[in-house]
């Protein structure tokens, strides 16, 4: 799964690549947690736009704007068919800029957090879905991050990883007119192991209230 990630320089870099202007309240964050607002890039009517979305998808059919089960991640293997995600998968896909993400490895003394990113500290985009829930004048726009099997680099600490999209796939992923799972599912593969890197970090990342680039520092 992906339960914590970094959204620092990636937002600005991805926006520049796509010809967008970021919201004025965008600021680097190094410990993004579920239920927080995160920056996403979407194209709801064909035109790309940045948007703040709550991390934890609320299906449009949900009777209230919260769910008792976790929807921060959607499994790539079932996303095309699972009722919670299938409509968003066909029509409401987004890019979620990231500089890295965290996973925890079970060790004898507890859980050791690791920071995972790309070789060269390059920013990237995660595959996401978004949804709009609305009842009686109240509206919430939310999102989820797709996850797939871990690559050989990450597998020793966790069996899943978020889907990191190849930049060549951005156009198709954002195109809401592309709805055939045959075209979309092949994009949701594990990212190349030789282009990912990971290192242990301090326990401060365990607290969502902690933030700052020092959370990424190797220990």
Does residue 103 carry a catalytic annotation? yes
Which of 103, 131, 141, 143 is the catalytic position? 103
Catalytic residue among 2, 94, 115, 143: 2
> DSSP 3-state assignment of 151?
coil
Active site annotation includes 134: no
Q: How far is C-alpha 111 from the chain's CA centre?
A: 22
Handedness of CA 62, 63, 65, 68 (dihedral sign): negative
Buried b (16+ CB within 10 A) or exposed e, 101-130: bbbbeeeeeeebbbbbbbeeeebbbbbbbb
**Tokens 């929807």 label which residue?**
71
Residues classed as catalytic: 2, 103
């Amino acid at each position: 799964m992906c339960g914590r990630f970094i959204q620092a320089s990636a937002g600005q870099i991805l926006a520049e690549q796509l010809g967008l202007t970021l919201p004025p309240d965008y600021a680097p964050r190094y410990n993004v947690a579920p239920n927080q607002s995160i920056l996403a890039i979407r194209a709801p009517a064909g035109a790309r736009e940045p948007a703040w979305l709550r991390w934890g998808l609320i299906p449009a059919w949900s009777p209230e704007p919260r769910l008792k089960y976790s929807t921060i991640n959607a499994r790539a293997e079932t996303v095309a068919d699972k009722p919670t995600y299938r409509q968003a998968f066909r029509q409401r896909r987004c890019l979620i800029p990231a500089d890295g993400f965290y996973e925890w490895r079970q060790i004898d003394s507890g859980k050791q957090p690791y920071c995972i990113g790309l070789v060269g500290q390059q920013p990237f985009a995660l595959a996401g879905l978004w949804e709009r829930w609305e009842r009686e004048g109240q509206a919430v726009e939310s999102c989820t991050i797709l996850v797939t099997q871990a690559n050989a680099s990450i597998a020793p600490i966790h069996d899943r990883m978020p889907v990191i999209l190849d930049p060549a796939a951005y156009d198709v992923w954002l195109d809401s007119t592309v709805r055939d799972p045959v075209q979309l599912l092949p994009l949701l593969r594990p990212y190349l192991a030789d282009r990912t890197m990971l290192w242990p970090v301090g326990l401060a990342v365990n607290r969502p209230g902690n933030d700052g680039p020092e959370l990424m520092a190797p220990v």
